[in-house]
């Protein structure tokens, strides 16, 4: 381990805690997995769960008439208020369903340039408890990999299919792109017993080069 500490902001909403408190721990451990794979030392965020209630209150301002959360407005507000930065990334885990203009729903979004990832478990809630926890940890690993810089500029074996596959790894890897709940569940299961948090050696090398 290097001597550097890495601060990270992780907050689940109240609905996640009510669905299964272990999901918050799964996501938290997923982020720690990535930080440790990057050969950094995580600084424990003792305020992790204390923000759940306030986050749940905040996102109500962005609720659409159909009950979904307007991800475009939520993102814009978080950026405008300086909630996160590349040096102070934040990962928000929501039980609420997200939507952006022109879509029926999105699983979430991650923007490295502003250090922000917002992920929804709404579409995964029908998975059995064990599968949901495993998938939650995988999602946290994947998205925090993006926040730490794994994208088209740093991933060595890039997926060449374009579109939403752009900026993802072509290897069987945590940074492989998945497009549905069954795909996510299957990949999470495949990688759950792999070393290095399921990252391929190429992506591990990139992570460590970026942060050491």
Q: What does the DSSP assignment read for 114-165?
A: GTEEEEE-GGGTTS-HHHHHHHHHHHHHHHHHHHTT-STTT-SSB--S-GGG
pLDDT tens column, 101-145:
999 999 999 999 999 999 999 999 999 999 999 999 999 999 999
What's the pTM? 0.91
Cα-based angle 90, 127, 15 (whole degrees, multiple of 5): 45
What would the two tokens of residue 4 be? 């550097």
- Residues contacting residue 13 through CB under 8 Å, at least 6 positions apart: 52, 55, 56, 59, 92, 93, 94, 95, 96
Buried/exposed 134-151: b ≥16 CB within 10 Å, e otherwise: bbbbbbbbbbbbbbbbbb
CATH topology of domain 5-154: Collagenase (Catalytic Domain) (3.40.390)
Which residue carries 């030392």 as its tokens? 41
The end-to-end CA distance of the chain, in Å, is: 10
The pLDDT mean for the chain works out to 90
**Domain range list for the chain:** 5-154
Q: pLDDT confidence of 2, banded at 50, 70, 90?
A: very low
């Amino acid at each position: 381990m290097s001597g550097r500490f890495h601060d990270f902001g992780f907050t689940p909403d109240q609905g996640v805690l009510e669905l299964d408190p272990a999901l918050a721990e799964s996501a938290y451990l997923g982020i720690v997995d990535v930080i440790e794979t990057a050969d950094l030392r995580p600084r424990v965020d003792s305020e992790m769960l204390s923000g759940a209630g306030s986050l749940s209150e905040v996102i109500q301002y962005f609720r659409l008439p159909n009950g979904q959360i307007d991800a475009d407005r939520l993102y814009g507000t978080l950026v405008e208020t300086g909630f996160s930065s590349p040096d102070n990334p934040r990962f928000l885990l929501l039980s609420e369903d997200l939507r952006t203009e022109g879509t029926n729903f999105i699983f979430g979004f991650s923007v490295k340039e502003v250090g922000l990832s917002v992920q929804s478990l709404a579409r995964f809630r029908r998975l059995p408890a064990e599968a949901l926890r495993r998938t939650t940890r995988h999602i946290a690993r994947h998205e925090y990999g993006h926040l730490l810089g794994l994208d088209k500029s740093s991933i060595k074996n890039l997926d060449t299919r374009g579109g939403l596959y752009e900026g993802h790894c072509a290897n069987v890897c945590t940074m492989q792109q998945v497009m549905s709940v069954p795909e996510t569940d299957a990949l999470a299961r495949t990688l759950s017993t792999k070393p290095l948090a399921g990252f391929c050696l190429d992506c591990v090398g990139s992570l460590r080069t970026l942060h050491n």
